[in-house]
Structure 1
Amino acid sequence: MTDRTATDGGAAGAGGPVELRRQIAETRAQLGNTVEELAAMADIRGRARARAADLRDRAGAMTVQLRSTAAQASYTVQEKASRAGHAVQDRAKGAGHAVQDRATHAGHAVQDRAKGAGHTVQIKAREAGHTLQDKAAHAGHGMQDRASRAGHAVEQNAPAPLRPPVQFAMRHPRPVVIVAAAGVVLVAAGIMARRRAAQ
């Protein structure tokens, strides 16, 4: 049915064409709302986003509430701990002074004993040091005398052409040691070369 048939004299409906148009518009609006509701129900992402936003808002509110509760509890605990700390500190001061006094007395007693023992040890160490020093001096003089005699014997028993080099070696031992070390190296190198050649 169209408006045309209604104006041509056909049966239009209970209220006429105006009423029919109104019913059609109302039905369209209801269908539009129903379609929007169905689309909203089918929009899972949108619903999930809305739910997540709602949960975020709730979590934020809970966080603020928990923070304020924790801050208040922290303040209360801090105040109680401060009071307890002061009480312990006062007791510790008293005990500390008593321990310090005892330790001071004990320290002085130990120090006095240590001074006496230290003097005794110092005297004994000094005597032992003098004894060792005397023995070392005697041993050193004996070694020096023997070395001097051996040097004179070598110097006098050496043939006349070798006496100046022997005297030089006795006065300046460092070059002699260097030459001797070089000789040992040369001999060792010669022995190793012969062994390699023999193999």
Structure 2
Amino acid sequence: MTHPPHDGQTASSPAELREQVEQTRAELGETVEALAAKTDVKTRAREKATEVKEQATVKAGELAEQTGAKAGELKAKAADLVHQAQDKLPDPIKDKAAHAAGQARTAAAQAGQLWEEKAPEPVRRTTSQGARLARDNRKLLLATAGVAVVMWLTCRRRKG
């Protein structure tokens, strides 16, 4: 232990020896810190959880973006198909469909009016607040749903 290793340098002066000792101490300190960090399971778990959370957030954002793009494409395609179908319909059927749609709007308006008249005030107020919150936080609701889907798919993939 008091002899230097055969392939190591030997100090020619006490100052060099002190410098080598300080360098060895610094390296040993770094090694001890690295080993301590590896054995700190709680911190490593927290770091891993943060990393996974960030990855899930990024993936959810990507999925939300892809879903939005795909939804836009599908909506445009559906509108195109509806127009094509409408163009092929005979006029009497178009008239009946327009009449039925008008009746449906009237029925919906009557149902809304009935709701206003018959539902207790606290229920109407709570329902109105819930609808307003959902409208105001639409992006957050969609992002949360996206994260939930990603988490569900991840758990499902791990089980399978």
Higher-RCO chain (CA-CA 8 Å, sequence separation at least 6): 2
Larger fraction in helix: 1
Q: TM-score, normalised by structure 1?
A: 0.40
- The higher radius of gyration belongs to 1
TM-score (norm 2): 0.49
